[in-house]
Structure 1
Amino acid sequence: MDWFPYFCQQLINGLTLGSIYGLIAIGYTMVYGIIGMINFAHGDVFMVGSVAAFLMVLWIGLTGTSGLFIIIVALLIVAALAMMVAAAYNWTIERLAYRPLRGSFRLAPLISAIGMSIVLQEFVRINQEGRPKPIKALITGEHDLIHRVTENGEFIVRLTNMQILIIVSTFALMTIFTMLIQKTALGRAQRACEQDIKMASLLGINV
């Protein structure tokens, strides 16, 4: 059996899914690296942002036939607004669930994070009725990279435009994030807190 086409298709699928997981993992590692706490509600905040983006797309009536330029501009605006919604939820969670527990025993923030995760999940489930809500693909089109005829039939290695967008967007966001951490005062403050939070506080960084 020719394994190469299967390998290529799984590589494309893995890069796409890994790109999404990579963006989520950045937030986990930043929080844990700086304050040493695993934020179990982090993935649920991403979920809230995704649901907000989904509802905005439905509200503006965006479809795959709207035109590529309109779709890209609309998605950029929707993404920015969804990030604001997620940031507002994250800020609220930090103020209500994490900040009051600073200095307490180590398990307290962890338990609070699990509680906030459950709250966010149930909040969205109750408001959105807990059922699948499909949406048609906004960015369509695909590219056939490899076409092979095997003993089990045809096998085509496909790369969709949506997969290209996900991978390219992820690398662009990671590049911007890396520059933010390496080149800005905020990034230097975060790296200082990760290395020694007490010394960072003595140097005037608001921790």
Structure 2
Amino acid sequence: MHASSLLSRRQLLASAGLLAGASLLAPRTARAAAPDSSVYQLDATLTDQDGRAFAFESLRGTPLLVSMFYTSCDMVCPMIFETVHATLRALPEAERASARVLMVSFDPARDSVAVLRKTADQRHCDARWTLARADDATTRKFAAVFNVQYRRISNGEFNHSSQVVLLDRQGRIAARSGKLGPADPAMVKAVHAAFAQSA
């Protein structure tokens, strides 16, 4: 077979997505894949408090504090918000400005975009914070990845575990804490270490 015929066949297969090495025929523009140990392997689409849909993996690149909550909780969940605020306040100024927070609701039936927006305002969550919701199936997958247990009880509220998880720049779990209230010194130290790591 002539080289020109072989090239034409390779181009045809590549355009159809049937050639395993098709990416070699075009410039590589895709972002490098997350490490196998990264939770960003989870294919999840979330919607934030401003109604914007985004891929979970798009948060990769900076240390991220993650927790789960529901807005109608009047005891533990407000303490989670306060704990994250305290953790941010305990960081050096540059790290405090660059840190990001993701709070995912496990009550998407009630936690609409409007409710998330209202909660963000009430809890003094600035641009560093993303309050998010997803469909039930995605919410359950997200909870499983972060080892958050929850179940709805008869009065419509939830029993749930409470923790704050730190992801490093690549989405590897760097620390987790179940301490609520004042900033956990071990978590603050872990956030500082995560910022010290190269991107």
Fold shared per TM-score above 0.5: no
If the length of structure 2 is used for normalisation, what is the TM-score? 0.23
Between Structure 1 and Structure 2, which shows a larger proportion of helix residues? 1
Between Structure 1 and Structure 2, which shows a larger proportion of strand residues? 2
If the length of structure 1 is used for normalisation, what is the TM-score? 0.22
